[in-house]
Amino acid sequence: MQVPAPFEYERATSVEHAIALRTQLGEEARFIAGGHSLLPMMKLRLANPEYLIDINDLDELFYITRADDEIRIGAMTRHRELLDSDLLAEHFPIFRDAEKVIADPVVRNRGTLGGSLCQADPSEDLSAVCTTLDASCVIKSTDGERIVSMQDFHVGPYETAVGDTEMLTEIRIPLKAGGGSAYEKVERRAGDWAVVSSGVAVWMSNGTIDDGRVGLAAVGPNTTSIGPVAEALRGAAPSEEFYEQVGEIAAANCSPQTDQRGTAAYKTHLAKELTRRSLRRAVARAQGQEA
Amino acid sequence: MTTTEPAPDTTEEERPIGFGRLLRKEDPRLIRGMGNFVDDISLDGMLHLAILRSPVAHARIVSIDTSAAEAHPKVVAVITGEDLAAQGLAWMPTLSNDTQAVLATDKVRFQHQEVAFVVAEDRYSARDALELIDVEYDWLDPVVDVRTALDADVPVIRDDLDGKTDNHIFDWETGDEAATNAVFDSADVVVSEEIIYPRVHPAPMETCGCVADVERVSGQLTLWCTSQAPHAHRTVYALVAGLPEHKIRVIAPDIGGGFGNKVPIYPGYVCAIVASLVIGKPVKWMEDRTENLVSTGFARDYVMNADIAATKEGKILAVRTNVLADHGAFNGVAAPTKYPAGFFGVFTGSYDLEAAYAKMTAVYTNKAPGGVAYACSFRITEAVYLVERIVDCLAHELDMDPAELRLKNFIKPDQFPYETKTGWVYDSGDYEPAMRKAMEMAGYDELRREQAEKRERGELMGIGVSFFTEAVGAGPRKDMDILGLGMADGCELRIHPTGKAVVRLSVKTQGQGHETTFAQIVAEEIGIPPEDIEVVHGDTDNTPFGLGTYGSRSTPVSGAAAALVTRKVRDKAQIIASGMLEVSVADLQWDKGAFSVKGDPTKSVTIQDIAMRAHGAGDLPDGLEGGLEAQICYNPENLTYPFGAYICVVDIDPDTAVVKVRRFIAVDDCGTQINPMIIEGQVHGGLADGVGMAMMEMIAFDEDGNCLGGSLMDYLIPTALETPDWETGHTVTPSPHHPIGAKGIGESATVGSPPAVVNAIVDALKPYGIRHADMPLTPSRVWEAMQGNHTPPI
């Protein structure tokens, strides 16, 4: 049994309480949500927080709702709820695609959206999904709240824009007409981190892609949204040749490293192939060709 | 040849008295969480031990400062290698008569080697205090690449050994080199390939550990330990530590998987014993997951250059191999003394050859020691992988179907017992029916047609065939020993007055189901229902001596002992019955569970009646003692040679190179079947192992000798999603020398399945001109092979 170093434990009763505790305890304190990233790191003593602030009682952070022009997801919403949500599946099928290949049911029962984003692992699937969907993050502190785009949320591997006295409370995803999205992942084994994964979202009208985004995991320091892909998608008419071109743009704009999961050459190839596949499915879904 | 019939294919509910399907007696306990594992042991005043390990692969120890750790309020003791050296306990023998540091004194020789230990009041404090020990290391260049370990300019790892000037451990050879070379020189076709079996790890779910309790007044040591061989361990402790053997009791309680990982004696066990001896309190040591993966017995790590010679018609003439074996920093191979390469000599496989020769060189590297099983039957996994891979390479060169090539070259039934060109005597075999059955179950011809159609369309489908012969059940003792202990096993059977029984074994289950199968063996011989037979094992105070469970030896050796001890009891029962029925012994006939008078079946006594008479007040025949019990020690006359035919079907996504194992057909022949359900379970587990090794498992190192496989996120083992629904079948060719005709089955699937999976993947890649690719065949490695960039894994 791997055992963590000593730490103190506080159980927050509200968002305000959680933020107050964090402000009071300082940089050696960490929030604990589902615990499926932080606890293993603590057991391996890669993370040694002095305080854990448990936020699992914060019922106010468990929700998936529709506001006028966006979907709002509470930071404590668990993978299982994201997987099961018909609302998400209707507007953003990419979530269900991704959740089906994240870890295993035990992890999905506990792990949370907020926890996944705050871990900021370059291989993490929901970060890629939120990058793809151009999500924004609501960060609260005693001074109020601020809203940060996904691009600004991740500032490096395992680093986010959330300060020592702040808390991620909500993720907002803009709703636009004619949308379709999909996620493709290659892993060495079920439940493994992605060798590479690719999410694509498109918004279409009259058979043309008005706007589109890609989010790639495990090909750079953070999950990556590739500007040249978005540029290429804008105003394009979908075709197999076009999917191939977009895949090539994705591959040309990523910087994977060779490791145990695969060679840089293979990962670059996957960036192309998976982007091609995701784009094809996203377009089909936008056109109502796939449930 | 035995007359024992194959087990009737009963259902699990029928509760046979003897052989047949029967739910496992141990499962009600285990599936309800009521098992009793080492980490469940908690004793009054028990302390906890944690081990400080080296962060680097090769370094001289300059100094160790333990003062801060000793000042921790809950720390009882901090012990270094110097402390052990003062007691003469800093080094211990390995199972291969090498020495291994219990705690490093001079230098560390692999990353995560044991350097010091802390004993504290609780597990957390012990672990916390490790952070307070300050060790200064003087780094040395590590030897990581096995291929350069013998070069002139590399550092000498084992400078502790007198006069050691290189990293060479041993050379070993088998077969006739000259005769083999002659066959090769005149052969039509010669195919050569470098075939690597990477380092893998048994990775049992339960890690290794122990609770040591030295009683201060009597000096009695009780050791609860994750041991596959409690008796052998006890004797080794007696020989090494000089403890009186009768004052040592080793108890292996429930074990959560062994696979060979729990055969060696690890430094942690010795540390716990020393700690209890010094402190006078019970001490628990349990490895964590990382410690298990990075420091305990690995498996394989063979670089094999293989050559095969054949006629152009596909008659295989000879196999030749040159092997470079990476044994890590200490030679900890678990193998019989005379077999430094284990039973690798069976690399001639299932084929009738004219000649064969193998040469092996084993070397030290700065990696964890071991070379244990992982369900390999003493290196047969490597041997079978070698021959089954090179035979497929030959099929590729000859453009022959790999199944047909094998069928053409099998040893024929009338050639058994068959002596191979490397001196192994295969006891029995009938290979073609097993192969034909597997092909029929697979729909082999139809699969090949489907494959041809798919290739036309650019789809990648592969069909992999392997056929293996195993050699399991070591001894005989004259040939096989471990540290001088002959490989034989005792068994003791006692029938209680009411006709219930207790059978005591020297072997120890780690999940194989001994509590069920051994009750069934006794039941088959004496007619007492298995539920009335208690199986006792794992406790040296309550069981007869024997060498333990590994190398699939429980059924071949201990199972034979159980059958023979029961027959011995039955012989006595027959004498008692003759008195009860007032006829001569010769006039009695045995119907399972009762003796009756020949020709008058109404006159009979059951084994239960006889048991009561044996313990009762009535007269017994003249000269007969009361009681109904016996003990024997069984020394096998030969190994048993189970075999099997495996067929694997894979589909590969040509764009992502992701491999999906679509089907796996396994036909096994382990002779007489005791419990077909347990056999299937063993086969399922081994097949999953095989898929894991073929496609994802590898203990890798970086250039500094850092182990990259320290967690189950890094060292991948397969899940249900990577494994297909196994399709199992069997043929039954009894062992002629085993009392019930049974052969071992525990490792057949682990041995036979990796080549089937790899052969299938390579077969799928045939359109790319690929003849060989090394494990683990991850998507990346498959894709690189498709690009012509296949690289060896080490």
Q: Which spans in B296-412 are helix H? A: 380-398, 402-409
Domain-embedded: residue A233: yes
Instruction: Give the E-state strand segments of B311-420 in sequence order.
Output: 316-326, 355-363, 418-419
A74 & A150 share domain = yes
The pLDDT tens digits for B108-160 are 999 999 999 999 999 999 999 999 999 999 999 999 999 999 999 999 999 99
Nearest-neighbour CA in chain A from B207: distance (Å): 9
- Mean residue pLDDT of chain B comes to 96
The pLDDT tens digits for B299-316 are 999 999 999 999 999 999
Nearest-neighbour CA in chain A from B39: distance (Å): 10
Angle at B589 between CA B588 and CA B591, to 5 degrees: 140
pLDDT at B5: 44
Check CB contact under 8 Å for A261 and B780.
yes
Q: Largest Cα–Cα distance of chain A, in whole Å? A: 60
What is the DSSP code (8-state) at residue B488?
A: -
Check CB contact under 8 Å for A266 and B784.
yes
Contact A30, A53 (CB under 8 A): yes
CATH for A129: 3.30.465.10
Domain-embedded: residue A249: yes
pLDDT at B13: 62
pLDDT at B242: 84
Nearest-neighbour CA in chain A from B722: distance (Å): 7
Is it the case that residue B51 has pLDDT exceeding 80? yes
Q: State which residues form the domain around A21.
A: 8-54
Nearest-neighbour CA in chain A from B158: distance (Å): 30
Check CB contact under 8 Å for B700 and A5.
no
Is it the case that residue B215 has pLDDT exceeding 90? yes
Place of tokens 């300050």: B134
Contact B301, B325 (CB under 8 A): yes
A146 & A232 share domain = no
A190 & A234 share domain = yes
The pLDDT tens digits for A69-79 are 999 999 999 99
Domain-embedded: residue A146: yes
Is it the case that residue A133 has pLDDT exceeding 50? yes
Check CB contact under 8 Å for A262 and B779.
yes
pLDDT at A222: 82
Contact A254, A123 (CB under 8 A): no
Contact B160, B102 (CB under 8 A): no
Mean pLDDT of B77-98: 94
**Ramachandran quadrant class, B403 (left: phi over 0; alpha: psi -120 to 50; beta: rest):** alpha
CATH for A215: 3.30.390.50
Instruction: Write down which residue in A130, A148, A174 finishes a domain.
Output: A174
Is it the case that residue B1 has pLDDT exceeding 60? no
Nearest-by-CA chain B residue for A274: B656
Nearest-by-CA chain A residue for B713: A192
Residue A239: what are its φ and ψ, rounded to 5°? Answer: -160, 165
A159 & A93 share domain = yes
A269 & A221 share domain = yes
Taking Cα atoms as reference points, which of B440, B507, B449, B448 lies closest to residue B474? B507
Domain-embedded: residue A2: no
Instruction: Write down which residue in A151, A174, A197 finishes a domain.
Output: A174
Check CB contact under 8 Å for A1 and B39.
yes
Instruction: Give the E-state strand segments of B153-220 in sequence order.
Output: 168-175, 189-200, 209-214
Check CB contact under 8 Å for A2 and B289.
yes
Domain-embedded: residue A88: yes
The pLDDT tens digits for B741-781 are 999 999 999 999 999 999 999 999 999 999 999 999 999 99
Cβ of A73 under 8 Å from any chain B Cβ?
no
Check CB contact under 8 Å for B288 and A1.
yes
Check CB contact under 8 Å for A44 and B719.
no
Domain-embedded: residue A196: yes
A67 & A164 share domain = yes
What is the DSSP code (8-state) at residue B6?
A: P
Interface test with A, best of B780, B784, B786 (most A CBs within 10 A): B780
Domain-embedded: residue A3: no
Rounded percentage of chain B residues whose pLDDT exceeds 70: 98
A122 & A185 share domain = no
The pLDDT tens digits for B247-269 are 999 999 999 999 999 999 999 99
A189 & A281 share domain = yes
Is it the case that residue B544 has pLDDT exceeding 90? yes
Total number of domains constituting chain A: 3
Distance, in Å, from the CA atom of B764 to the CA atom of B460, rounded to the nearest integer, reads 5
Nearest-neighbour CA in chain A from B107: distance (Å): 25
Cβ of A262 under 8 Å from any chain B Cβ?
yes
Contact B121, B77 (CB under 8 A): no
The pLDDT tens digits for A168-202 are 999 999 999 999 999 999 999 999 999 999 999 99
A164 & A65 share domain = yes
A165 & A253 share domain = no
**Confidence class for position B2, pLDDT limits 50, 70, 90:** very low
A49 & A63 share domain = no
Domain-embedded: residue A106: yes
pLDDT at B374: 72
A112 & A165 share domain = yes
**Confidence class for position B6, pLDDT limits 50, 70, 90:** very low
Mean pLDDT of B544-548: 96
Mean pLDDT of B38-63: 98
ipTM: 0.96
Is it the case that residue B11 has pLDDT exceeding 70? no
The pLDDT tens digits for A223-232 are 778 899 999 9
Cβ of A124 under 8 Å from any chain B Cβ?
no
Cβ of A195 under 8 Å from any chain B Cβ?
yes
Contacts (Cβ under 8 Å, ≥6 apart) of A143: none
Interface test with A, best of B39, B783, B790, B794 (most A CBs within 10 A): B783
Nearest-neighbour CA in chain B from A248: distance (Å): 14
**Confidence class for position B3, pLDDT limits 50, 70, 90:** very low
Taking Cα atoms as reference points, which of B172, B145, B170, B140 lies closest to residue B156? B140
